[in-house]
Amino acid sequence: MALSRARKQEIVESYGQGLATATHAFLLSYKGATVPQVTDLRAKVRQKGGKYLVVKNTLALRAVEGGALKALETHFTGPTAVVYGNDPVAIAKVLNDFIKDAPAFEFKVALVDGQVVAAAQIKELATLPSREELIAKLLFLLQSPITRFVRVLAAVPQQFVGVLDQIRVQKEKQGS
């Protein structure tokens, strides 16, 4: 069924609302995927704050014109789905876990912070800790020297009190 020019314009505008502003995106091939698989993946991506969008390549290319996804234009071939969101590591983890169980899906390429990432490297991206884990580790590393410094400062008066107590004990022994 052919699309009318007005309908194509609507599709390009709807694609443009998400794809044109996306700084992190993953292109997937979904040849042979079933509707329940796509629905399941869409729900998992949505839980991580991302969006899953099956695109018509020619219209998607018009929508990404001048945007960050323009760098991926050569990969808009065959059945293409675009997954985009704010946390590329969380989305990469969801996609990587899902693709292990659903071989109909394959990574084509990704765009992370304006950098093109090859399909093989996406799996490495999925092994990175999440943003929350990285922040927790950073806070621990920043807090650790401060904690040790406070312990050293607290040890000086504590040791001084210990020395005074030993002097007291010695004087009591001498006095008796």
**CATH code of the domain in which 26 resides:** 3.30.70.1730
Same domain, 156 and 87: no
State mean pLDDT over 150-171: 84
Indicate if the pLDDT at residue 35 is higher than 60: yes
Domain count, the chain: 2
Q: What is the DSSP letter of 56?
A: -
* Alpha carbon separation from 1 to 4, 137, 143 (Å, rounded): 10, 54, 62
Letter string b/e over residues 38-69, b meaning 16 or more CB atoms within 10 A of that residue's CB:
beebbebbeebebbbbebbeebbbbbbeebbb
Same domain, 137 and 123: no
What's the pLDDT score for residue 163?
84
Tokens found for residue 161: 């009190």
What's the pLDDT score for residue 176?
67
Same domain, 105 and 138: no
Cβ–Cβ < 8 Å for 41, 82: no
Cα–Cα distance, 90 to 131 (Å, whole number): 8
Question: Mind listing the pLDDT tens digit for each residue in 96-121?
Answer: 888 888 888 888 888 888 788 888 88
Same domain, 67 and 115: yes
Same domain, 135 and 106: no
What's the pLDDT score for residue 16?
74
Indicate if the pLDDT at residue 68 is higher than 80: no
Which residue range is the domain that position 173 belongs to?
A: 129-176
Same domain, 24 and 98: yes
pLDDT band at 1 (very low <50, low <70, confident <90, very high): low
Q: Give bridge partners of residue 115 from the DSSP assignment.
A: 112
